[in-house]
Amino acid sequence: MSNEVINEKRREFLGAAALAIPAALIGVPAMTTTTTARAADYRKNPFTLVYDGAITKNEPGKVNIHPVNYDLNGLNIVANVYTPANYDPSKKYAAIVVAHPNGGVKEQTAGLYAQHLAERGHITIAMDAAYQGGSGGKPASVDKPQFRTEDIHGAADFITRYPGVDPERLGLFGICGGGGYSLNAAKADKRFKSIATLSMFNSGRVRRNGFKDSQLDTIQHRLRQASAARAQEKAGGEILYAGDANLTDAQIDALPFDLYREGYHYYWRTHAHPGSTFKYTMSSLLDLMRWDATDQIELIDVPLLMLAGSKADTLYMTEDAFPKATGTKDKELFLIEGATHIQTYWVPEYVEVALSKLTPFYARTL
């Protein structure tokens, strides 16, 4: 598939937030982007991984990748399991479920962190959400909190039965939207002995209130749109999607928020993958807009580590969630100095800082 075809397929946004860009933002002078991603071509990797340093073949004595699939409530889920160097299925290992960002797939940043955590001795699993990526579910691109949360429970079901996994040493790591859904899953699923988030994105709050709570005056209007979209969908009519945007490179560079501008470049340009699409069914908003990742967050009673870039324009979501997690006293909010939201996905120096916190956290709690 050519880059031109990929770009044409990417006329929807968003990898990081999947929120339509307000027309008023187009043409706003750009903020400076100091770090430029390097292209990672999925076609050059046998596992279609798009992150730098990705596994290209399984070798004895090194971290290996194992494409798997499993059933989740009648849907086929595709995932990659990473096993540590010198993996011996007769031994017992801690395992970590890695939940990908909104619009993302397992081959992108979720895979990068899953591989790095496997390098540190864990068995890890990164899966495509149901209705997204290579996993089953129709119509495609449904994005509902109950499904994304069930994805995490389902990954726990699978990985705790994987050879060599100690089910009593199961951790959870969620990135962006996957971070918000990981908080939700960990409220009730006590199989997870610890949870970490990176650049946590509260999908419900943003779909309801707009990014940085900028669309409070249109909530009822958007709910009516979502209601009408569901009615049309259930009547057999056209399925409507949100998150579509047809922007030129110049318009992308002119977006004022790092999240959107850098998100476009990451998902649409430098780390594009054919399974990653940024639209979601308009009817999903009925579920998203009445949901919030921080509701009943006090039910989390296990160690919690929340990581975010100090310059991320999504930082307010982590800072809002952290103090509400009153059910655990073993918790830390750590800022990755100088990093924006998307830069925590791939910039080597920021990834290393994140791993320098994740490594001792999981070693201690698992």
- On the 0-12 / 13-18 / 19+ scale of CB atoms within 10 A, 155 is buried
Smallest CA-to-CA distance from 96 within 184, 197, 187 is with 197
Tokens of 219: 């909530």
Does residue 25 contact residue 110 with C-beta atoms inside 8 Å? no
Q: How confident is the model at residue 245 (pLDDT cuts 50, 70, 90)?
A: low
What tokens were used for 282? 């308009």
Strand partners, 99: 174
Q: What is the pLDDT of residue 34?
A: 40
Note the pLDDT of residue 155: 99
**Residue 267: CB atoms within 10 Å:** 29
On the question of pLDDT at 131 being above 80, the answer is yes
Q: How many CB atoms lie within 10 A of CB 302?
A: 17
Task: Check whether 249 has a pLDDT greater than 90.
Answer: no
Average pLDDT score over residue span 303-325:
98
Please, which residues have CB within 8 angstroms of residue 208's CB and are 6 or more apart in sequence? Answer: 219, 288, 289, 290, 292
Q: What's residue 217's pLDDT?
A: 97
CA–CA separation, 242 and 20 (whole Å): 7
DSSP β-ladder status, 123-127 and 165-175: unpaired
What does the domain layout of the chain look like in residue ranges? 3-365
Superfamily holding 3-365: Alpha/Beta hydrolase fold, catalytic domain (3.40.50.1820)
144 close to 284: Cβ distance less than 8 angstroms? yes
Higher pLDDT, 290 or 9: 290
Cis peptide before 139 (omega within 30 of 0): yes
- Looking at residue 40, its pLDDT comes to 81
Residues 6+ positions from 217 with CB-CB distance below 8 Å:
none
C-alpha–C-alpha distance, residues 212 and 133, integer Å: 28
Q: What is the mean pLDDT of the chain?
A: 90
Per-residue confidence (pLDDT) for residue 37, from 0 to 100: 62
- For residue 268, the model assigns a pLDDT of 86
Residue 38 pLDDT level (bands cut at 50, 70, 90): low
DSSP symbols for 108-174:
THHHHHHHHHHHTT-EEEEEPPTTSTTS--SSTT---HHHHHHHHHHHHHHHTTSTTEEEEEEEEEE
What per-residue confidence (pLDDT) applies to 278?
78
Lowest mean pLDDT among 13-22, 174-183, 246-255: 13-22
192 φ, ψ to 5°?
-80, 120
Q: What letters, b where the CB count within 10 A reaches 16 and e where it falls short, cover 113-150?
A: bbbbbbbbbbbbbbbbbbbbbbbbbeebbbbbbebbbb
What percent of the chain shows pLDDT beyond 70? 89
Over residues 94-120, the pLDDT tens digits come to 999 999 999 899 999 999 999 999 999
Which of 75, 167, 92 has the alpha carbon at shortest distance from 127?
75
- Residue 27 has a pLDDT of 35
Which candidate, 51, 85, 47, places its Cα nearest to that of 66? Answer: 47
